[in-house]
Amino acid sequence: MARVKKKRLLLRREWCKGCNICVAFCPTHVLGLDEENRIQILDESRCIECYLCEWRCPDFAIELVDLASEEADGAKEGAA
Amino acid sequence: MATLDYVRRRFLPHIWCPGCGHGTLMATLVRAIEELAIPKDQIVMASGIGCSSRIVGYLDLHTLHTLHGRALAFATGVKMAKPDLHVIVPMGDGDALAIGGNHFIHACARNIDLTAIIMNNQTYGMTGGQVSPMTGHGERATTMPYGNLGQALDVVAVARAAGATYVARSTVYHAPQLKKLLMKAIQHRGFSVVEVLTQCPTYYGRLNQRGDAVEMMTWFKEHAVPVGSDARKDDPARFEVGEFVNVERPEYCASYDEIVTRLKPREDEHA
Ligand SMILES: Cc1ncc(C[n+]2csc(CCOP(=O)(O)OP(=O)(O)O)c2C)c(N)n1
Ligand code: SF4
Ligand code: SF4
Ligand code: SF4
């Protein structure tokens, strides 16, 4: 069943130390490490927005961003 | 406020090794504070010395980086002077229970309203993997190359016996549970202790062939059982997580205030 996406993943590659914690414990295998051993998204459509990657990352390098509030912020900026 | 508003971003990425559990504890603690919506200027965080104690450098709160083992002494002074502030004291297992062990038991007994967080990686990370009071029997350390002759202290039992009024344990694998326990500990009025198992892949992990951070966290996952569970009988390596103590006793600063009020000369005595 297709789900409505409420969040998107925000990666801070420059803070990532390639520990693999988020990759190994993601229940739906959304994440991977790239050739420089830093976080990358393999397939975001599989993300179930469980937050476990964000909560276990030791380096603030991955975060779920709320799409609705991001849109609202965008609208505000547009109006300004 | 967003999570990173509590963080001194200019100092990131932090100094901790890849996969060090201390980073996850820091992120979880920030989320606990964020969810409690405590303004930054109402929190004081005091730490001692160790990899764990570096946490205060990264958080945009009132922070004190003090002496090895003495964070609770500094925190006690702050709390006595400013009892309305939340005072949080993150400590390494060596910091809290070796050099700082006496401060720890007396802070428990006093029941002063501080939140002590024991970042237990079962070793001295900062100085290169020496044995700590929380290293298990037979586990290796640079100072116990053939395995620890002693046994690990059970900090939950110590805190309970010494009189702490809130005592809990979790691990960085269990970040969602850990956040809830930290929130309760911060809100608790009295001395609260949260033991957090955190991995040091660089020393403890390497010396004991525990694998990388993921393997060490998987070990936490597989060995943690809820408080009171019988499952520990089958495997002595299992440990309980959750809340162990949550009781009320007179709080130290409140008792001090009562005496001040009682001894203050009444208006009519001045006349
Ligand atoms: C008075 C004093 N004694 C010894 C030291 C050396 N020293 C620095 S950190 C440390 C132990 C760190 O271990 P722990 O508190 O468990 O924290 P970790 O580094 O593992 O997070 C020691 C013994 C010191 N800095 N000051
Ligand atoms: S939120 Fe959950 S499902 Fe999505 S990437 Fe993170 S761990 Fe995987
Ligand atoms: S948990 Fe964080 S630091 Fe580790 S690989 Fe994932 S994003 Fe990078
Ligand atoms: S030495 Fe151990 S405790 Fe210290 S930063 Fe590295 S992994 Fe963490």
- Say which residue the tokens 């070793």 belong to: B123
- Domain-embedded: residue A2: no
Closest ligand to residue B130's CA? 1
Interface of A with B in 36-65 (CB under 8 A): 52, 55-60, 63
Give contacts of B24 with chain A, Cβ < 8 Å.
21, 55-58
Say yes or no: CB of residue A55 within 6 Å of ligand 2.
no
Domain assignment present for A22: yes
How many residues in total does chain A contain? 80
Supply B266's token pair. Answer: 């009444």
B175-187 vs B21-36: helix crossing angle, rounded to 10: 50
Q: Collapsing DSSP states into helix, strand and coil, what is residue B182?
A: helix
Q: Check residue B271 and give its pLDDT.
A: 53
Quote the ipTM score.
Answer: 0.94
Cβ proximity of B100 and B69 under 8 Å:
yes
Contact state of B13 with A59 under an 8 Å Cβ cutoff: yes
Over residues A13-58, the pLDDT tens digits come to: 999 999 999 999 999 999 999 999 999 999 999 999 999 999 999 9
Q: Would you say residue A1 lies in a domain? A: no
Contact A30, A41 (CB under 8 A): yes
As for how many domains chain A has, the answer is: 1
With contacts defined as CB-CB under 8 Å, which chain A residues touch B175?
A: 52, 55-56
Q: Return the CATH architecture of domain B3-269.
A: 3-Layer(aba) Sandwich (3.40)
Q: Residue A80 — pLDDT band, cuts 50, 70, 90?
A: very low
Q: To test the ligand 4 pocket, which listed residue (B91, B118, B202) has its Cβ within 8 A of the most ligand atoms?
A: B202
The boundaries of the domain holding residue A42 are: 7-79
CATH at residue A45: 3.30.70.20
Please tell me the distance from the alpha carbon of residue B40 to that of residue B57, in angstroms, as a whole number.
Answer: 14
What pLDDT does A77 receive?
58
Do A19 and B12 count as a contact with CB atoms less than 8 A apart? Answer: no
**Between B252-263 and B71-81, two packed helices, what is the crossing angle to 10 degrees?**
40
